[in-house]
């Protein structure tokens, strides 16, 4: 398969790219991004910095294209450079045009992005899914070729089962991939409620895990009940802390003459402490 061939010959291809003399000046308006590009987000700041460098020193490395229609080109590698050149208003860009099939183009675009360290977990998961789609290999084969464990690939792919709002939160760095995988234990309605609480209360993964365990332990039937239960988890914890402080205070005020006892009952959103104070009256003699 082309994917395996490209992996085996990657170093040779890099050498060929560097020594290739067929650099052409291609009109920017005739170039489109790769349709299989897994990266959905590009940092405007990094593109701006790259544009400044290119403006000062020129484009030192040509972008790689393929001609998918006559005089129409698709980016194989170098979309960040292309975006930087676009921002500079250049009419033409230095490029090397390769002959590639749709599958080879998709594989190259995905693999190039996987080699970048700043790929967010959602884009990474999309990259794995695209490779699986275009190469028709198994998760195990893909993991082996990429030097990853199969469980790692599977865990990343699970993130794509999350709703768009949760995926966006992960991609933007508002929550972690571990938060996301924890949310998968809930139904879609409760996921939205818990996600909102994670974001507003800045819950850790551990706190989120505890919250979801509480929800799954009860009988959450509707969105209304789910929302109520979500709020109760933190409230119950607060109530227990308050009750503990009260009981400590009661022990401090107990004396030889004053006996303090209490009874406590609690539910999901209420903690009741009934206090009994009995005072021993000293024996007194009637005055004549």
pLDDT tens track for 30-74: 999 887 777 777 778 889 999 999 999 999 999 999 998 888 999
Q: Which of 71, 141, 74 is nearest to 102 (CA)?
A: 74
Whether pLDDT at 2 is above 80? no
Does domain 2-158 bear CATH number 3.40.630.30? no
pLDDT confidence of residue 194 = 93
pLDDT confidence of residue 180 = 96
- 238, with CB counted inside 10 A (0-12, 13-18, 19+), is exposed
pLDDT confidence of residue 154 = 96
* End-to-end CA, the chain: 115
pLDDT confidence of residue 224 = 42
Band of residue 198 on the pLDDT scale cut at 50, 70, 90 = very high
- Each domain of the chain, given as residue ranges in start order, spans 2-158, 176-236, 243-278
Which token pair is 65? 């294209």
Average pLDDT along the chain: 80
Whether pLDDT at 195 is above 80? yes
Strands, DSSP E only, in 204-256?
none
Whether pLDDT at 15 is above 70? no
pLDDT confidence of residue 186 = 93
Band of residue 238 on the pLDDT scale cut at 50, 70, 90 = low
Band of residue 113 on the pLDDT scale cut at 50, 70, 90 = confident
| Cα–Cα distance, 179 to 159 (Å, whole number) | 10
User: If you average pLDDT over residues 195-214, what whole number do you get?
Assistant: 92
For residue range 246-282, list pLDDT tens digits in order: 666 666 666 655 677 777 776 656 667 777 777 666 5
Give me the percent of the chain exceeding a pLDDT of 90. Answer: 41
Whether pLDDT at 174 is above 90? yes
Which token pair is 274? 């009934």
pLDDT confidence of residue 158 = 97
Phi, psi of 264 (to 5 degrees): -130, 140
Taking each helix axis from N to C end, the angle separating 188-201 and 223-253, rounded to the nearest 10 degrees, works out to: 40
pLDDT confidence of residue 171 = 93
pTM, to two decimals: 0.59
Whether pLDDT at 163 is above 80? yes
Q: Could you list the active site residues?
A: 79
Band of residue 283 on the pLDDT scale cut at 50, 70, 90 = low
- Inter-residue contact 45 to 87 (CB < 8 Å): no
Whether pLDDT at 202 is above 70? yes
Residue with the larger pLDDT of the pair 71 and 28: 28
Which token pair is 170? 């992960």
pLDDT confidence of residue 245 = 65
Phi, psi of 259 (to 5 degrees): -100, 125
């Amino acid at each position: 398969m082309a994917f395996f061939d490209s992996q085996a010959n990657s170093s040779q291809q890099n050498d060929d790219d560097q020594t290739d003399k067929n650099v052409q000046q291609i009109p920017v308006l005739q170039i489109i991004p790769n349709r299989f590009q897994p990266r959905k987000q590009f940092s405007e700041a990094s593109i701006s910095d790259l544009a400044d460098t290119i403006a000062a020193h020129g484009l030192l490395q040509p972008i790689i294209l393929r001609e998918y229609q006559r005089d129409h080109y698709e980016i194989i590698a170098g979309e960040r450079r292309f975006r930087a050149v676009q921002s500079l208003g250049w009419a033409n860009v230095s490029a090397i045009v390769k002959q590639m099939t749709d599958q080879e183009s998709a594989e190259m675009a995905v693999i190039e992005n996987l080699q970048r360290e700043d790929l967010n977990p959602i884009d990474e998961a999309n990259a794995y899914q695209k490779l699986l789609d275009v190469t028709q290999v198994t998760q195990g084969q893909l993991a082996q070729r990429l030097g990853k464990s199969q469980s790692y690939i599977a865990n990343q792919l699970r993130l794509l089962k999350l709703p768009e709002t949760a995926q966006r939160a992960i991609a933007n760095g508002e929550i972690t991939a571990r938060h996301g995988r924890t949310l998968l234990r809930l139904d879609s309605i409760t996921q939205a409620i818990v996600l909102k609480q994670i974001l507003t209360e800045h819950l850790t993964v551990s706190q989120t895990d505890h919250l979801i365990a509480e929800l799954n332990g009860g009988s959450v039937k509707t969105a209304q009940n789910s929302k109520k239960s979500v709020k109760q988890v933190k409230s119950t914890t607060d109530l227990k802390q308050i009750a503990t402080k009260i009981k400590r205070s009661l022990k401090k005020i107990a004396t030889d003459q004053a006996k303090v006892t209490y009874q406590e009952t609690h539910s999901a959103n209420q903690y009741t402490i009934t206090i009994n104070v009995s005072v021993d009256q000293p024996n007194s003699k009637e005055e004549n």
